[in-house]
Amino acid sequence: MVVFGRGAGAVLRLPPDACSIGLTGVPPANCRKFYQKPSIIMRRHLVAPLLGLLLATAAVPASANPFEHKLGNGLRVIVKEDRRAPTAVHFVWYRAGSMDETNGTTGVAHVLEHMMFKGTPSVGPGEFNKRVAAAGGRDNAFTSRDYTAYFQQVPKEKLEDMMALEADRMRHLTLAANEFEQEIKVVMEERRLRTDDQPQALMFEAMNAVAFKAHPYRVPIIGWMNDLENMTVQDARDWYERWYVPNNAYVVVVGDVDHKAVFRAAEKHYGGLKPRALPLRKPQDEPAQAGVRRVSVKAPAELPVLIMGYRAPVIRDVEKDLDPYALEMLGAVLSGHGAARFSKHLVREQRLAVSAGAEYDSSARGPGMFYLVGTPSDGKTVAEMEAGLRAEIARVQNDGVSAEELARAKAQLVAGEVYKLDSMFAQAMEIGQLEAVGLPYTSGDRIIEKLKAVTAEQVQAVARRYFVDDGLTIGVLDPQPLSSAPRRGFATRH
C-alpha cells in the first residue's frame, strides 16, 4: 500500500502491512495512519513524528552506567553517560497520569501539563520556552495513562540551566486564572484535532470505555469534552498540589555528561524542594468479565476498522513472570515484520485485509490488553475480518509457532538493542517508562533475556490462556458517507 502525500525533506515512509509495538507501548509513527491508539498525547503537534523514535524495548546497562542518586527529598536522579555527541536530554517524570484522575475532572493531568508552561513567580508565562529556545534547545511534554513527562534536548553545557527551570516549576507554578481560561480552549482544540475528527480514535475511545468498567483506563487521556468545558483553574491547582512533589518524580539524563556533576547540579537545584506525603492510590481492579462486549461507532470515513481487545497480563515481577514475555513474542510472530503472519496470510495470500496488525504492551501500571486490528479489503465484511483474525489465533492455539518464526523475532530484538543506541532520546524514554510502571530501570537487560528465553510451547500456551471470548471486547468503526454526516460542533461556554 502506498499512502500519498506531497512535500519534501522527510521522505514518505512506506506504510507497513502490519504493526507491532514493543515494551514502550508506542506504535511506530507510520502505524498511526490506520490505527490511532492515543497512548501518549503531547503538548504540541510535532511536524516530524517524534514517536517513531520511541520503539525501544529495554536497556542493556554497561557496567555501572547508568548511575543513580537519590536526594534527601525522595527525588531520584538516573544518569546514562553517552559521549557520542555534545548534547544531552533531560527528563522529569511524574508518576501521575490520567489513571489517577476522578470522574468530573477527566483530562486534568494533561491540562496541568499544558499549564506547566504558563509561568512561576520567577519565570513568567511563556518564558520557559523562550529560555529553552535561547539555549539552543528543544522541549516538549507528554501525558499518558500512567505518567506525565517533560523533556529538553540541549547542547550539553546548557543542562544545568534546564534543571534549574524544571526544579522551579516542580513546586512554584503560578496557575493564574487568566492563563487557564486561554489554555483550556487550546486543549479543547487539541481534543477536536486528535479525537473528535479522527474516526479511529473515536472508536478506540468508545472501545476502552466498554472494555474497562471499574479501572480508570476507561477514560481517555485528553478527557471527555464536557469535563474540559467545566474544568476550573482550581481543578488544575488541586492536581498540582496532590502530585507535583519531588518524592513523586524522578529525573533522567542521557548524554555527554559526567554523572557526578549531574548529581551535584541536581542537589543544588532540586535538593531544596520539600516532599509531601502522597494520597493513597487505590487499585480499582477491574471485575471479572464474562462474555464478549461489543461497541460500534459511526463516523465519516470510507473503510471500516475492527479492533479485538483481549484482557492480558503485564509484567509485575520481572523474574517470576512468564506470560507477558510470551505474549510479546506472539505479537512479534503475528505482526513484527513485513512477512509476519497477519501480513502474509491476511493481507497477501487471502487478500482479506487492507491492513492487519497486533499490539500488545507488557508494561503498564494498570491492566493489560492484547489488541488485534484489521481493515477489511473492498468487498469483504467486518464479520469476515473478525473470522480471519480468529482463524489466525486458532492456528497458534492448535499448531503453535515454528522455531524459525521465534528465532526471527529474537533476531530483530537483538538488532533493535543496538539500533536503539543511536538515539539518546530513546534511551532516556526507556529508562523513564520502565520506572513509570514500577519496574526498576536496571531490569531492562533481564527483560531482554527473558524475551529471548521464550519457547514455542509458552507462546502456544498464552494463546490458549488469554484469547478467550470471556476476556474479549470488540470495537467496530462503522463508516458513514461524508455527505450524510451531521455537522458536528461542540458549543463551549468560553
Partner 1 sequence: MNMNTIKRFLALVLLLATPLTHAAVKIEHWVSPSGARVYFVETRTLPIIDVQVDFAAGAARDPVDRAGLAQLTRGLMDLGAGDMDESAIAERLADLGARLGGGADTDRASVSLRTLADADKRAAAFEIMRQVIAEPRFPGEVFERERARTLAALREALTRPETIASRAFWSGLYGTHPYGSQPTAESLSAISVDDLRSFHATHYVARAAAVTIVGALSRREAEALAQQLTAALPAGEKLPATAEVSLPKFAEVHLPHPAAQAHIHLGLPALKRGDPDFYALIVGNYTLGGGGFVSRLMKEVRDKRGFAYSVYSYFAPMQVAGPFQIGLQTKRAQAGDALKVTREVLQQFLAEGPSEAELAAAKANIVGSFPLRLDSNRKILDNVATIGFFSMPLDYLDTYAEKVRQVTAADVRAAFARHVRPENLVTVVVAGD
Closer Cβ to partner 1, 86 or 272, answer by number: 86
Cβ atoms of 56 and 429 closer than 8 Å:
yes
Are 271 and 234 within 8 A, CB to CB? no
Closest separation in Å from C-beta 471 to partner 1: 30
Residues 332, 412 contacting (CB under 8 angstroms): yes
Asked if 275 interacts with partner 1 (CB under 8 A), we say no
Grid cell, residue 282, equals: 487505590
271 binds partner 1 (CB under 8 A): no
Site residues (CB under 8 A) for partner 1, limited to 367-396: 375, 377-378
In whole angstroms, give the CA distance from residue 397 to residue 461.
Answer: 7
**How many other CB atoms sit within 10 Å of the CB of residue 440?**
12
Stretch that binds partner 1, among 43-51, 92-100, 434-442, 462-470 (CB under 8 A): 43-51
Which residue bears the cell 536496571?
A: 442
Please state the closest distance from residue 139 (CB atom) to partner 1, in A.
Answer: 8
Sheet order of strands, 305-312 included: 293-300, 472-480, 305-312, 368-376, 353-360
- Smallest gap, in angstroms, from Cβ of residue 339 to partner 1? 3
Q: How many C-alpha atoms does 469 have within 13 Å on its Cβ side?
A: 5
Q: What is the DSSP string of 321-376?
A: --HHHHHHHHHHHHHSSTTSHIIIIIIIIS--EEEEEEEE-S--SS-EEEEEEEEE
In whole angstroms, the minimum distance from the beta carbon of 173 to partner 1 comes to 17
488 binds partner 1 (CB under 8 A): yes
Residues 443-472 that bind partner 1 (CB under 8 A): 445, 448-449, 452
Encoded one letter per residue, x for contact with partner 1 by CB under 8 A and - for no contact, window 231-270 reads: -------------------------x--------------
CB nearer to partner 1: give 71 or 406. Answer: 406
205 labelled catalytic: no
Strand duo 67-70 + 353-360: pairing: unpaired
Name residues contacting partner 1, limited to 322-341 (CB under 8 A): 336-340
Do 208 and 195 form a contact (C-beta atoms < 8 A)? no
Residue 23 CB burial class (10 angstroms; 0-12, 13-18, ≥19): buried
Query: Which grid coordinates are listed for 382?
Result: 467486518
CA gap 172, 24 in Å, rounded? 31
Name which of 212, 236, 255 is nearest 101 in CA terms.
Answer: 236
Contact code string over 77-96 relative to partner 1, x by CB under 8 A? ---xxxxxxxx---------
Between 48 and 277, CB nearer to partner 1: 48
Q: Does 47 bind partner 1 (CB under 8 A)?
A: yes
Cα angle, residue 209 at apex, residues 211 and 27 outer, rounded to 5°: 75
**Nearest distance, CB of residue 138 and partner 1, angstroms:** 7
Smallest distance, partner 1 to C-beta of residue 485, A: 4
Q: How many residues line the site for partner 1 (CB under 8 A)?
A: 106
Amino acid, single-letter form, for residue 154: V
Residue 105, CA distances (Å) to 94, 101, 226, 405 in order: 19, 7, 9, 46
Binding mask 409-438 for partner 1 (x = CB under 8 A): --xx-xxxxxx-xxxx--------------
* Integer Cα distance of 116 and 249 in angstroms: 15
Q: Which is nearer to partner 1, 220 or 336 (CB)?
A: 336
- Cβ of residue 11: shortest distance to partner 1, in angstroms? 5
Q: CB nearer to partner 1: give 189 or 469.
A: 189
In the set 281, 316, 351, 464, which binds partner 1 (CB under 8 A)? 351
Of 81, 113, 359, 392, which one is the catalytic site residue? 113
x/- mask, partner 1, residues 108-137, rule CB under 8 A, reads ---------x-------xx--xx--xxxxx
Q: Which residues contact 280 (CB under 8 A, 6 or more apart)?
A: none
Closest CB to partner 1 among residues 354, 462: 354
What grid cell was written down for 264?
551535584
* 303 contacts partner 1 (rule: CB under 8 A): yes
Question: What is the closest distance, in whole angstroms, from the C-beta atom of residue 84 to partner 1 in the complex?
Answer: 4
Q: Which of residues 166-225 bind partner 1 (CB under 8 A)?
A: 181-190, 192-193, 196-197
Give the residue numbers marked as catalytic. Answer: 113
